[in-house]
Each structure stands twice: as structure tokens, then as C-alpha cells.
Amino acid sequence: MPKPGRPAPLMNPWALGIVLEHVAKIDPKKTYLEVGSRHGGSLQRFGRMMDGGAKLLAVDYPSPPPKNNKGEKLVETAKYLREQDGYDADVILGSSFDPKTVELVKQVLGDRPVDVLLIDGDHSIHGVACDAYNYAPLVRPGGLVIFHDCGECENDGMARRHRPSVNAVWRDLGERKNTLLVQGFTGFGLVWV
């Protein structure tokens, strides 16, 4: 089977490196949940930081044909992580804030608490707030919630990716908790639960 696409192509390498250093400190790392996975690049990058055999679960809304085949690529990435790397990787294709999807995520996780949650789905205020408030409660005490596209971009040609809605939800969820904003390209917001 061919190796899936490049890991995390739209993430600044410097900022990603800092975030991965913090992920490495989470112990144990048995369950990873990703909301908004696109083709699976970040599923590969963050998933491989988890302990061997960890549960990896990606949720994404598939693009309708013929726009692209991100759902197929994401499923292929999960299959690769299962067969080649030994992770218990699954994909749920559907709207992350649909109550049926939220319930399915809970069923797939069972009684496993989430150690690391990456939120990189719908960047509207409604979408990111739904994702944060539906999935952050699944993260165990001492676990980590990561928001992508949380920082403030300079006008570097990618300013269109600045998402004040993501930053607002990150600040709200992080109120009275330890937080870190890692600026670089579009930035990451971290919240320790």
C-alpha cells in the first residue's frame, strides 16, 4: 500500500515542533481524537506521538464529489496507521457537530478518556464552539486540547487563514486553565484540562 500524503502540510514547522514537545510530555498517550482531519496529515503527525497501539480517532466532513476525495484519503491514512504502525485508528465521516456524530464518537471511544484532542474543523464561531464544547469534556484531567489556526497572522499572504473565532473559543475554554498560544503562520492554542 502506498504511504499516505505529507503530514500536516499547512502547519508551520517551528510552531508544530513546539506543540509536539508539549504532546510528548502528556503521559500516558493512549487516546487521540482529531476533529477536522482533511486528508489525514495531522492524524499521522500527532497520532504517531501516541503510545504504541493507542486509539486514534479522526472526524471529518467529507467533500462531495467531484471536488476532492478527502474522505477516501483520510480512510486510507487510518488504514495505513493500523496496518503499518499498529495503531487502533478509525475515521468517522460526518459533521462534527451533528449530535449523531458526537454520539458515535462516544461509542467508538467507549470508556477511554481522550489524552490529546486536536480541533481543526469548521472555523466558524458556531463550528469551533460546538467542537470545543462537544469534545473537550471527553479529555481527561491532565490531558491537552489543541486548537489549530488560533493565532493572529501578519499579512504574509495567508492572512485569510486567521480565524478570530478559533482564538475566541480557545480563550473561553482556557479561562482559569493553563494555556499557551504558539504563534507561527496560523498558530496553535493549547489548553491543559
Average confidence (pLDDT) over 130-135:
96
Average confidence (pLDDT) over 113-121:
96
Q: Percent of the chain, pLDDT > 90?
A: 64
Averaged pLDDT score across all residues of the chain: 87
pLDDT of 162 over the 80 cut: no
Q: What does the alpha-carbon distance between residue 98 and residue 171 come to, in Å, rounded to a whole number? A: 24
**106 SS3 class:** helix
pLDDT of 62 over the 90 cut: no
Q: Which of the 8 DSSP states describes residue 97?
A: T
Give the number of other CB atoms < 10 A from CB of residue 193.
Answer: 20
**136 SS3 class:** helix
pLDDT of 2 over the 70 cut: no
CATH T-level fold of 13-192: Rossmann fold (3.40.50)
Confidence of residue 73 (pLDDT cuts 50, 70, 90): confident
Average confidence (pLDDT) over 70-78:
86
pLDDT for the residue numbered 68: 60
- Supply φ then ψ for residue 119, to 5 degrees: -110, 115
Instruction: List the single range of 15-19, 85-89, 121-125 with lowest mean pLDDT.
Output: 121-125
Give the number of other CB atoms < 10 A from CB of residue 172.
Answer: 12
pLDDT of 186 over the 80 cut: no
Domain ranges of the chain: 13-192
Q: What does the alpha-carbon distance between residue 111 and residue 93 come to, in Å, rounded to a whole number? A: 21
Query: Can you give the pTM of this predicted structure?
Result: 0.90
Q: What does the alpha-carbon distance between residue 100 and residue 49 come to, in Å, rounded to a whole number? A: 29
